[in-house]
Amino acid sequence: METYHFKALLTNSGWKENVRIRTNTDGLITDIDENSSLEGIELDFGLPGCQNAHSHAFQYAMAGLAEKHSTSETPDDFWSWRDAMYSLALSISPDDLEAIAKMLYSEMLRHGYTDVAEFHYVHHDKNGDQYPNLSEMGMRLISAAKSVGIGITLIPIFYQKGGFGKEPTDGQKRFVSPDLDEYLKLFEASKNSCDSYEHANIAVGIHSMRGVEPKVIAELAKNHLPDVPFHIHVSEQLKEIEDSMAYLGKRPVEWMLDNIEMNDRFHLVHATHLTDSETERLANSGANVVLCPSTEGNLGDGLFPLKKYQDQNGAWSIGTDSHVGLNPLEELRILDYGQRLISHKRNIYYSVTEGNSALYAIQQATSAGRKAMNNFNDTYFKVGEYLDVAVISQEHPLLENCSLENLANTILYSSDASMQSHTISKGKLVVENGKHKASQQIRKEFSEAMVRLKNR
């Protein structure tokens, strides 16, 4: 049993002062008391634990390494970046992946994420052959999450094609399930792997419209989709849309809306390039989008039509994707500022009933982010639920004397990683004073993996 005392805690109804929360030995909340006397571990400003709704853990090993560009007339773009990513994917061993994921997940916790949706497609060995345990690589990701104390939703990805109507390339050989039956075997093995960790669960994932034959995507969604989230990359790049038009006669999201009955279990990652009709229909379907602002900016993807989507009450969450950025508050800022630049307006984050930018952004990212991990609980802190908190220190001069009215916006728009002091994940204090409790060993294993990979 543990007791935590927060100077202020952000709840669904706003900030509450002097909140005491008790947890049992499993990390579940047993009591929440407002205006309480000081007792237990003293903490400053608590936000609901952040949800990272889209991650490719292995790509953390190449963060910062794709910024050297050719000086020829041929521009460097997403597709040249993808070649570099394939090269890394072909090199990683199970031990490497686990060490990389431990480092990454511990860094996520340090920045306030308490759950991650792992969009996982490096399934097979370096020759493209299946491991004896089909979920060997997925099991390593779960082991990494368990080791550092973050919740994980493992999304084994169905990857079948090398593009619309094209066979997979040699660079994709570790990713491929040749047909739906083989993917369902992988899914079951991955689901079984989740049993090894109480804070692991499963979701269905399709790499992209170009990565799986569209009629197979529809069959999976209609006949084989269990009661779990469904994740897919879609409409991220203009070339993808051009290829979809040539192959299907429709844009990717248009085709999905016409052929799949979507609901709030669907999570469309990026969805960058949408028409007005697609935007409206997607929002009205109840499906969610997962936006990854730092990666989308790094890859030159473009800007999602957030204003039009919000006008239709569309739901969205955030992810860190390739992990060139790991701060959830920074992701929310980049998303907001990109929209301000193209709209020439400042009131982007708002709903009909809420004009507070930070409160609205946190609510959106938390609610849809939790759904991405099959958690439909909208209450930030609730008796009987696990305690997940990202703690912000009051030591920053802008926060020291900040009113509750201005606190959330000051944190969102003026903070940096140094202000994120503690993280409680599943009731356990895993980050203290800006440092993960097992950081020394985690970093040692990561360093050894980087030496083996020889990519830095």
What are the C-alpha distances in Å from 8 to residues 22, 247, 411? 15, 54, 13
Give the residue from 355, 356, 357, 362 showing the smallest Cα distance to 378. Answer: 362
Give the residue from 62, 27, 58, 39 showing the smallest Cα distance to 298. Answer: 62
Q: What residues are labeled active site?
A: 270, 321
Residues β-bridged to residue 206:
158, 232
Q: Quick check: 61 and 100 in contact, CB under 8 A?
A: yes
Enter the DSSP assignment of 137: H
Residues β-bridged to residue 153:
117, 201
- Side chain identity at residue 190, one-letter code: S
Q: Quick check: 33 and 309 in contact, CB under 8 A?
A: no
What is the rounded distance in angstroms from the CA atom of residue 168 to the CA atom of residue 410? 48
Q: Name the token pair of 294.
A: 């730092």
Residue 366 parent element (H or E) = helix 357-371
Q: Quick check: 404 and 15 in contact, CB under 8 A?
A: yes
- Find the DSSP H helices in 299-356: 306-311, 328-343
**How far from the centroid of its chain's Cα atoms is residue 64's Cα?**
19
Q: Quick check: 18 and 333 in contact, CB under 8 A?
A: no
Give the residue from 186, 100, 200, 225 showing the smallest Cα distance to 149. Answer: 200
Which residue matches tokens 């993960």?
436
Q: CB count, 10 Å around CB of 342?
A: 13
- Is the C-alpha dihedral spanning 50, 55, 61, 62 positive or negative? negative
Give the residue from 266, 358, 273, 345 showing the smallest Cα distance to 309. Answer: 273
| Rg of the chain on CA atoms, in Å | 21
The angle subtended at Cα 318 by Cα 4 and Cα 415, nearest 5°, is 55
Residues β-bridged to residue 55:
118, 321
